[in-house]
Chain A
């Protein structure tokens, strides 16, 4: 029996983060004195799969049925972070660390006792733990006892005698703003949940959480070099310029053209249940996520202010692009609710504006990276 509380872990929240994992990991990085706005700057990109209609930034936003991914799938977004394949925790395993990339290891553990033991070890070593939970079991959240959903929180303490964890969840984008104590037994259920889901596109499915958690490993001489910053810009220009494919999918402006083509064709389609779900939920959420990615890249550009010129011009274009992606998201929701297919024309026009704005931004980024 014991108690341990880690003090002063930064309660990070920024509205431009990509998701709850990004937000929780940012708190962990800040706690280690690292800048998440640079380290977690994912490449500027756009992905589209015209077979399924799914899209994304550096990976497709689709409905996963597992928390397991290949190394290639895990490593499409970041220049400064390497994600090994998620696997069970192995005390003997050591990663060869490099000075220019940190390692974020995702661990899976079907044995809840083992997962509990490792979590305790981390906290005992003053390491806040980023763990996945099912919101269905989190009593502070509006989804409690209503909806299932994978979510990441930061656990900063425990008291075994009184049976509580101290944790925080500041991901306000999904209505979270919690900083307090929850029963260990409830969090244990939340970590081991099968996480059942159901939607029009997928039908019924589960995405078992397998007690997944992340641990950060950093070389003691880790530094962010100018070359890494330039590599983020160069890779972003390549992806936006459709000079490469990511996970086999089209990238950048060609991918936008493919999306525009498919949306044009939707003008003559029936607004059936699937299409309504696409507009009201999938496009709404995905366009919002892409809007945030443009803000996030803007934050990255501003952070590297001391190194380069032209940033303010690029930052303004990214802000404008983000605004148009946001409008696309709201128009999609409006179309899904009102069933007014005429709004599709407005979405298409917004996307055309986005493409031109982002072409201008990428031209400037090309200049930056060459300069």
Chain B
């Protein structure tokens, strides 16, 4: 899967999870500050991403710090799919 395609899907998923600014998802913005996605919503989002891309997020990386932007999530998914 191309990186752009992954980013597009991540943006769509972020849009549905965002509390605000959902119409203007920027991949490099902090999810909590810009879209109101807290640590609970982030875990829910990552579960959705696991289903969407048929991957499993490494438990050791399951922190807000590792996935604080759409870009960080997209990069992770891209690397996972490339393995």
Contact = CB atoms under 8 A, between A and B. Distances in A.
Interface of A: 175, 284, 288, 323, 326-327, 329-331, 333-334, 337-338, 343, 346, 350
B60 A330 contact: no
A330 B39 contact: yes
Contacts of B1: none
A241 B39 CA distance: 31
B2 to A, nearest CB: 28
Contact of A327 (B38, B42, B47, B63): B63
B40 interface: yes
Given A334-B47, A337-B47, A338-B47, A327 B60 contact: yes
A5 B64 CA distance: 39
Contacts of A326: 39, 63-64
A284 B62 CA distance: 13
Interface string B58-69: 011011110000
B59 A333 contact: no
B25 interface: no
Closest 9 CB pairs of A and B: A346-B59, A330-B62, A333-B43, A330-B43, A327-B62, A326-B63, A334-B43, A331-B59, A337-B47
B75 interface: no
Contacts of A323: 63, 65
B23 interface: no
B69 to A, nearest CB: 17
Given A330-B42, A331-B59, A337-B43, 17 more contacts: A175-B38, A288-B39, A323-B65, A326-B63, A327-B59, A327-B60, A330-B39, A330-B62, A330-B63, A331-B62, A333-B40, A333-B43, A334-B43, A334-B46, A337-B44, A338-B47, A343-B59
Contacts of A175: 38
12 contacts: A323-B65, A327-B60, A327-B62, A330-B43, A330-B63, A333-B43, A334-B46, A334-B62, A337-B47, A343-B59, A346-B59, A350-B59
Contacts of A333: 40, 43
Chain A CB within 10 Å — which of B39, B42, B43, B60 has the most?
Answer: B43
Nearest to A338: B47
B52 to A, nearest CB: 14
Chain B CB within 10 Å — which of A175, A284, A330 has the most?
Answer: A330
Nearest to B44: A337
Nearest to B38: A175
Contacts of B38: 175
A330 B40 CA distance: 8
Nearest to B61: A327
B68 to A, nearest CB: 13
A52 to B, nearest CB: 24
Chain B CB within 10 Å — which of A288, A327, A338, A350 has the most?
Answer: A327
Contacts of A334: 43, 46-47, 62
Contacts of A327: 59-60, 62-63
A334 to B, nearest CB: 6
A346 B44 CA distance: 18
A185 B42 CA distance: 37
Contacts of A343: 59
Contacts of B43: 330, 333-334, 337
A193 to B, nearest CB: 25
B20 to A, nearest CB: 12
